Amino acid sequence: MKRVAISGGAGRMGQTLAAGLSGLGRFTIVTLVDVQEPRDLFGATYVASWDSVDASTVDVVIDFSTPEGVVSSAAWCAQNGVALVIGTTGLSSEQRAHVDAASTKVGVVIAANYSVGAVLSERFAAMAAPYFDVVEIIELHHDKKADAPSGTSLAASKAIVAARTAAGKGLISDPTTRHTLKGARGAEADGGIKIHSVRLPGLVAHQEILFGGPGEGLMIRHDSFDRVSFIQGVALAADAVDASPRLIDGIDSLVA
């Protein structure tokens, strides 16, 4: 069994991962790392920082903490030869550079979304992209999410633009010329795709990719109603990665 340390182990996602992964029978949760003490330990030990972790007891680190926490996890994993799986979003270019540097020393998986359904919806959107004139994305998340737009919506927009570019399609133009309220049309991602972010209590993670063409429309919607929806993808990533240096960006290649 792979021995797992979870960074952000006291958070809602960290606690969900600890419970879910330990229940799969092929992972042992050995350490929960967090500045706050976790409510449940699931048989693991609790430490407040990586300085207190014995690297010989850990095969893979799973980080669902903060962008700053990712930098610390990446440095510790690179120094100690431990694989790393990252689910934290909102990284700056400088913070992402630390992740890329770590992947030259150990195996790293980083993904905006570990839901298999979200991966498939992105794949379906890329298939549809060359056949429609316009596409917009609405992403909806819980009110505790700090970054906007979501990493999932940005990844989807990039996949759509890549598919349109490969098909010889140009940028998507916005017909709106007068904005009564600034920002009413959302943020503009690469390729002219509009992204609209919603933050409300009661939500978890939801996304609608809306395509429009002459006389028809197509909506691809994915809903994560519970954080357990991310466990399968995290498990795929943890199974796939080891101490051998490489970077897996997104889990699309792990979903057959």
pLDDT in tens, 189-207: 989 999 999 999 999 999 9
The residue from 105, 142, 145, 169 that is catalytic is 145
State the residue for tokens 């979304």. 113
Residue 256, pLDDT above cutoff 90 = no
Same domain, 8 and 103: yes
The residue from 141, 158, 194, 206 that is catalytic is 141
Q: Is 179 a catalytic residue?
A: no
Same domain, 99 and 10: yes
User: How many independent structural domains does the chain possess?
Assistant: 2
Residue 218, pLDDT score: 98
CATH number of residue 244's parent domain: 3.40.50.720
Same domain, 221 and 140: yes
Residue 146, pLDDT score: 87
Residue 13, pLDDT above cutoff 90 = yes
Same domain, 38 and 123: no
CA atoms within 13 A on the CB side of 249: 8
76-112 pLDDT, tens per residue? 999 999 999 999 988 999 999 999 999 999 999 999 8
Residue 128, pLDDT above cutoff 90 = yes
Boundaries of domain holding 83: 2-110+228-254
CATH number of residue 182's parent domain: 3.30.360.10
Same domain, 141 and 219: yes
In 3D space, the residue among 7, 8, 11, 29 whose CA is nearest the CA of residue 20 turns out to be 29
Same domain, 72 and 167: no
Same domain, 96 and 126: no
Same domain, 214 and 247: no
Same domain, 146 and 200: yes
148-179 pLDDT, tens per residue? 999 899 999 999 999 999 999 988 988 899 99
134 or 146, greater pLDDT? 134
Q: Is 141 a catalytic residue?
A: yes
Question: What is the mean pLDDT of the segment spanning 14-32?
Answer: 97
Question: What is the mean pLDDT of the segment spanning 128-144?
Answer: 96
Same domain, 141 and 195: yes
Same domain, 95 and 137: no
User: What DSSP line would sit under the chain, residue for residue?
Assistant: -EEEEEETTTSHHHHHHHHHHHTTSSEEEEEEE-SS--S--TT-EEESSGGG--GGG-SEEEE-S-HHHHHHHHHHHHHHT-EEEE------HHHHHHHHHHTTTSEEEE-S---HHHHHHHHHHHHHGGG-SEEEEEEEE-TT--SSS-HHHHHHHHHHHHHHHHTT--PPPP-----SSTTTT-EE-GGG-EEEEEE-TT--EEEEEEEEETTEEEEEEEEE-SGGGGHHHHHHHHHH--SS-EEEESSGGG--
Q: What are phi and psi of 3, to 5 degrees?
A: -95, 125
Residue 254, pLDDT score: 96
Same domain, 122 and 202: yes
Per-chain mean pLDDT for the chain: 95
Contact 207, 153 (CB under 8 A): yes
